[in-house]
Amino acid sequence: MSKILLHSSFLPMGSMAIVVLVLVVLVVLHPCVFVDAKTTYIVRMKHHALPSEYPTHHHWYSAHLQSLSSSATSDSILYAYTSAYNGFAASLNPEEAQLLRQSDSILGVYEDSVYNLHTTRTPGFLGLNSDFGFWEGHNIQDLHQASHDVIIGVIDTGIWPESMSFDDTGMPEIPSRWRGECESGLDFHPSLCNKKLIGARSFSKGYQMAYNDGYFGNPRENQSPRDQDGHGTHTASTAAGSHVANASLLGYARGIARGMAPQARVAAYKTCWSTGCFGSDILAGMDRAISDGVDVLSLSLGGGSAPYYQDTIAIGAFAAMENGVFVSCSAGNSGPNLASLANVAPWIMTVGAGTLDRDFPAYVQLGNGKRFTGVSLYSGQGMNKPVGLVYNEGSNTSSNMCLPGSLDPELIRGKVVVCDRGINARAEKGGVVRDAGGFGMILANTAANGEKLVADSHLLPAVAVGRITGDMIRHYVRSVSKPTAVLSFGGTVMNVRPSPVVAAFSSRGPNLVTPQILKPDVIGPGVNILAAWSESIGPTGLDSDKRKTQFNIMSGTSMSCPHISGLAALMKAAHPEWSPSAIKSALMTTAYTQDNTNSSLRDAAGGAFSNPWGHGAGHVDPHKALSPGLIYDISIDDYIAFLCSLDYGMDHVRAIVKQSNVSCSRKFADPGQLNYPTFSVVFGGKRVVQYTREVTNVGAAGSVYEVATTAPLAVNVMVKPSRLVFTKVGEKKMYTVTFVTSGDAAQTARYGFGSIVWSNDLHEVRSPVAFTWTKL
């Protein structure tokens, strides 16, 4: 089975290696587990072929399944989807799945995938008004009132309903159109919901089917919406948490915590469990959220690249888009590697991560006088005198990694231990050092991590440093007879420059599924984000961490995604008539690409300038997004023409699109013809690529725009017309852009970047352009 990750750097680096090891052990100890065992399959039906004798599709699915296999029963069906998907999820053996594939009523049968999980100062950093959670200078009271009617659905690990971030003081009655509910569970009573948290459900049939023997079960988990992990509470409160004064993580980042849309409603759909998020459960959560009536769906999780008709999230998101629901997903935490993105469907808002202008510095002072800066969220006191420093001193060859049982207490007692990052969780390494009698830890990156830094709430004095600094510290330990170190902690530092910076972990383009669509779409705050937390687990997530805190600081595209989800909710309140594509366009074309030093955005991975494969259209600017001037809208028919241009068979197109009469009578000659707000030009063997775009005037009547372009020297860009004149609001205009590359460009360049900008005195509508000549 494949894995879908919750996009949070809270997960240990190298966790996949551990998963693989556990699976190997299971095969050895229980070989029967994987032989002829039933597993979950997601089945796409020809929905409109429902025979008249069946009262519901569920009855038809059950009867059809039992007619093909004597071992199938009505209990074999785990979910019968209605809103997000035409089909069902069922527990089948491989033979039964093959029989279904041969049926004329079936469009596709796919084995369930497992997706894994991939935030106080953020509203101020984004320019949001501190009193109302919206843009300064606009009709705040009307927008404040309107956002009460916007509902954000969060697909994640559940919710901690007692958090003050979900307090409903002053909120009006729940919108009458809401069809959701709060489920009861062993540790969750429906009365825990209120006018803020208006829905809470859990979906675990796929999870239970896969792990019904209990090998991966977590004894703390109950099949209820309660969040035992913390991730879901964090993301939900980031999107729409209420105002909470004096919030902090053990004193760090103290201030007022609030979500992007603090007056919006929240509905939690728990689809992620201790071993990950199963596609069948995710699809069930999305299916229910659409029928419940959410306006925005936020998914801080994802997996690898796959064709859209095999991508559970892409399929569910398409149905959401068809129903007017905006879908925001995390881009993944596999950066700075190129082509490492998840959730790249063009109807999804794919969100990368950037830094805030806030940091949590910590310092390492070596015995040779050199002082280095790292990061830490350790809440205790620093060291007042030097202590011994050791590296790779243990009972086995894994002591440099500080794996459990690897350190020799006789060699490290009372000393600071240098631990290489990787394999086990960052905070767990500190626990290993503490348990062996060590006094402190320097968590040093290796080449695999580069300069990626994440602040953690360590259990002992600890500082995380990048690879370059780590190499110098390791060299110092090896080169002197009695190395020493002093660790100290700088607390919370504001107004950091430069910021934002593209996070090193944020996944990068190009888009492997559809190279003609530029991804990610934007970046948002995703490093060291303070938000609400589950009190069932300590801030490190370790079983040994018995600390309780109402807020936690986390990093990952999991954290940037709900920022954009919350902003989309505010956009929906401001412009209820706008489509999801229009809201997406406004957020993209108004994004900025300069930091607070007026320099181009930089990449934390190496300090060089970033590019659109790292930051997409740029960092979101909600103030400007409210009034973008022009938007690039995309209809459902446009998306169908896009899918047909990918040379998918009709069964594959129907696996994504729910319409009964869908056809490919209209298709683009090139997928890049989709009316997307950005451009990705793939020359391949061609010298000329031409695209047409349509923009809609959402600014003032009589608006006039002039175009300006930038491109690499090897590319000539021509835009016709070069001037757009709009006589009225809502008027649409088309333009054609022609990209011509020089004959020898493919020999001298692999990729490059540019932009197309339509502007007047009030608006700048910017579209980044990526150029590629050879396959990467």
Active-site positions?
A: 156, 231, 558
DSSP characters for 223-241?
Answer: SSSB-SSSHHHHHHHHHHP
- Max Cα-Cα span within the chain: 85
Tokens of 621: 């600017």
Q: What SS3 class is residue 474?
A: helix
CA-nearest of 626, 569, 623, 587 to 129 is 623
CA dist 39 and 766 (Å) reads 47
Task: Pull the structure tokens for residue 433.
Answer: 């050092």
Amino acid at 11: L
Residues making up the chain, counted from first to last: 776
CA 323 to chain centre: 22
DSSP 94-130: HHHHHHHHTSTTEEEEEE--EEEE----HHHHTTB-T
> Rounded to whole angstroms, how far apart are CA atoms 69 and 76?
11
Q: Among 425, 482, 434, 437, which Cα is nearest to 461's?
A: 434
Sequence letter at residue 708: A
Alpha helices in 1-93 (DSSP H): 15-29, 57-68
**Phi/psi of residue 371, each to 5°?**
-125, 130
Distance CA 603, CA 631 (A): 28
**Cα(606)–Cα(336) distance, integer angstroms:** 9
Q: What is 655-682 written as a DSSP string?
A: HH---TT---SS--SSGGGS--SSEEEE
CA gap 694, 717 in Å, rounded:
18
In this structure, the strands spanning 361-366 and 484-489 are antiparallel
Alpha-carbon distance of 524 to 506, in angstroms, equals 11
Which residue spans within 501-636 are E strands per DSSP? 501-502, 522-525, 529-532, 551-554, 602-603, 630-631
Determine contact, residues 518/676, Cβ cutoff 8 Å.
yes
Give, as one character, the DSSP assignment of residue 359: E
| Closest CA relative to residue 17, chosen from 556, 423, 541 | 423
Could you tell me which of 459, 602, 453, 464 has the C-alpha nearest to residue 528? 453
State how far the Cα of 285 lies from the Cα of 277, in Å rounded to an integer: 11
- Segments in 168-278 forming alpha helices (H): 205-210, 231-240
Inter-residue contact 733 to 762 (CB < 8 Å): no
Q: What are phi and psi of 620, to 5 degrees?
A: -60, 145
Q: Which amino acid would we find at residue 137?
A: G
Q: How far apart are the first and last CA of the chain?
A: 27
* Structure tokens belonging to residue 450: 């580069």
Amino acid (one-letter) located at 97: A
Among residues 388, 514, 494, the alpha carbon closest in space to that of 440 is found at 388
Quote the tokens at residue 694.
């349509």
